[in-house]
Structure 1
């Protein structure tokens, strides 16, 4: 564990999710249960190097160990997002899934009726049904970034990729009072106005966790 000092607080770096590990193979039951939602991206995007509508973004994920994990998408690392997505999953549960290997998160919302439809971008939708590795988790919510969210992202400005903990609630002692975070690079692939995918880019291209987040608008 190493300590990095900077800004208003010190960041304690630790091995959390970016330690190289063998990938877990899904069982036949898991594969069949997940196949409906976790299809490979269309051949036009995947087999041709994801050449259509692809860009690289940074995605910080963070949350109290016994609180819900949140994330934001930063196209420009020099600016702070005004909104975050709060997942229907506690931070320690995501840590456990990441430690086991492959993680696929699907975020589904329904198209609005034609009379109320807007040109709103997919990730601007306010409410999502979330699935993690094929299992329904509950509702994920897009919300305005609170002061604490902005403080976390301000502290992470100097961290291009990594994971660790940040000081959190001073009145809570031990790990439950700390904010765990992971900041990674993702490829964002836009399939259409109703489908996007974020693919985590491993630091060395081969090892480490395998996380993808799928956004889809159905109906």
Structure 2
């Protein structure tokens, strides 16, 4: 997979199925936010009984080395506070 012309990982191409279409249609009006899609909407396509939790936002990716990277939630308000950071380290 390439982002801005740089190879950043691996991806597999596949066709959308009915579950993917339902989830994307449900989330199409959400621009930024977090929430839960009720189990009633996904039950006919999902084997599990739980809800689908999502977080849709803009993230900044920072690569420190080949073994570590982090994702920082970019706040859309003018507030400089950092709301969420995810750190991934290879062990």
TM-score normalised by L of structure 2:
0.51
Contact 1:195 1:215 in 2 (8 A): yes
Q: Residue 159 of structure 1: CA displacement?
A: 2.4
Q: Are 1:189 and 2:62 matched, yes or no? A: yes
Question: CA deviation digits over 1:135-155, x for unaligned, max 9?
Answer: xxxxxxxxxxxx697357523
Q: Residue 209 of structure 1: CA displacement?
A: 6.9
CA 1:211 to 1:150, structure 2 compared with 1: closer, same or farther past 3 Å? same
Aligned with 1:150 (options 5, 20, 29): 20
Counterparts of 2:58 and 2:23, CA distance in 1: 15
Aligned to 1:162: 33
Cα RMSD of the aligned pairs, angstroms, is: 3.6
CA 1:168 to 1:213, structure 2 compared with 1: closer, same or farther past 3 Å? same
Counterparts of 1:203 and 1:164, CA distance in 2: 17
Instruction: Give the length in aligned residue pairs.
Output: 72
What runs of 5+ residues in structure 2 fail to find an aligned partner? 11-16, 44-48
Q: Residue 190 of structure 1: CA displacement?
A: 1.3
Secondary structure of the residue aligned to 2:20 is helix
Q: Residue 186 of structure 1: CA displacement?
A: 0.7
Q: Which has the higher contact order (CA 8 A, sep 6+)?
A: 1
Secondary structure of the residue aligned to 1:204 is coil
Counterparts of 2:82 and 2:89, CA distance in 1: 23
Aligned to 2:77: 204
Question: CA deviation digits over 1:13-55, x for unaligned, max 9?
Answer: xxxxxxxxxxxxxxxxxxxxxxxxxxxxxxxxxxxxxxxxxxx
Structure showing the higher strand proportion among its residues:
1
Counterparts of 2:80 and 2:18, CA distance in 1: 32
Q: Residue 214 of structure 1: CA displacement?
A: 0.8
Highest CA radius of gyration, 1 or 2? Answer: 1
